[in-house]
Amino acid sequence: MASIDPRTCREMEELLSAYALDALDPGEAARVEAHLYSGGGCPRCRRSLAEERRVAALLGEAVSQGMPPDSLQGRLMAALGSMPREAPTAPIDTPLLRAADGGMPSARGSSREVSRRRRIRLSRLVLPLAAALAVVLLAISLGINLLTVQRLDRLERESAGLSSQLIRYNSDESYLSEGLRQIRLASYLIASPDHETMTLEAVGGAEGSQGLLLVSSDGRRAILMVAGMTQQPDTADYRVWFMRPGQRVNAGEVMVDASGWGIIILYPSESVFGFDWVGLTSEETTSVPASASDMVLRGRITSQKSLK
């Protein structure tokens, strides 16, 4: 193991408190992690970090305690299923796991054009996963879902080998990680046997575009996937609305890549099944849309269970 420069340790110790709080900026966090773990890392600073984490963990236990619903344990054990594990290549508390799971905050201040080019580049990586997800949707099979989770896990480990590039590519990594995280969450929902599936169809001139809305049985979680959308000239965002007579609720924004594909996880403040329609407008429609003609995609919200 290479000797550790004491000056580096002093510099790192200044950062360990914020690191334990997950409050470092991505570049600094990557430097700390390289010092802690690369090539055997620095045992002295790891001990200091353990102390900082002990304090941070106590903060985490200062919140009022509430039990999760009983059903959560059942869902967890069902998700484990026969999921095999492979030996991990990086400690669970290293940044690489966090990065691969959506942990690195996005770089700020980059231009939309640069961001768009990154999306196009990254879409080459995300799209194959989306294609895999589409197969899962058709099959609605727990077995296929587990394979997807395993594949994502393998990607996490592969990304662990790229630590030295993380500093330069934080923004790109963040986007990719977010895509992986969304697909993973989608796979959990798809694995749930009682989710509902609804389709969105093009309105007006938006021919060739389509959408799919998956909703959990309680209506409190939903995943919207769109394809064949037109990328906006100045923005890649579309706004999602839930609608019922006299009311339209803004549910979030979905970013569309160069291929016209996009996904968003929705956590509506009330059940989706309390609404009649779901629709998309272009991002320019920032307030409540004036009429249904603003919509580029629209779908009826129905529950198969209620139809039976």
Give the residues lining the site for other proteins (CB under 8 A): 14, 17-18, 20-25, 46, 49-69, 72-73, 75-77, 79-80, 83, 85, 87-88, 90-93, 97-98, 101-103, 105-106, 108, 149, 153, 178, 181, 184-185, 188, 216, 218, 220-221, 252-253, 264, 267
Q: Least CB distance from residue 247 to other proteins, whole Å? A: 18
Q: Least CB distance from residue 296 to other proteins, whole Å? A: 18
Q: Which is nearer to other proteins, 202 or 238 (CB)?
A: 238
Instruction: Report the DSSP pairing between strands 237-244 and 277-282.
Output: antiparallel
Q: Least CB distance from residue 300 to other proteins, whole Å? A: 23
Q: Least CB distance from residue 204 to other proteins, whole Å? A: 25
Q: Which is nearer to other proteins, 50 or 120 (CB)?
A: 50
Q: Least CB distance from residue 205 to other proteins, whole Å? A: 26
Q: Which is nearer to other proteins, 43 or 128 (CB)?
A: 43
Q: Which is nearer to other proteins, 3 or 65 (CB)?
A: 65
Q: Least CB distance from residue 102 to other proteins, whole Å? A: 5
**Residue 70 corresponds to which tokens in the numbers above?**
């009983």
b (16+ CB within 10 A) / e for 84-112: eeeeeebeeebbbbbbbbbbbeebeeeee
Q: Which is nearer to other proteins, 50 or 292 (CB)?
A: 50
Q: Least CB distance from residue 94 to other proteins, whole Å? A: 8
Q: Which is nearer to other proteins, 136 or 222 (CB)?
A: 222
Q: Which is nearer to other proteins, 55 or 162 (CB)?
A: 55
**Residue 66 corresponds to which tokens in the numbers above?**
């509430």
Give the whole-angstrom CA distance, residue 280 versus residue 297.
5
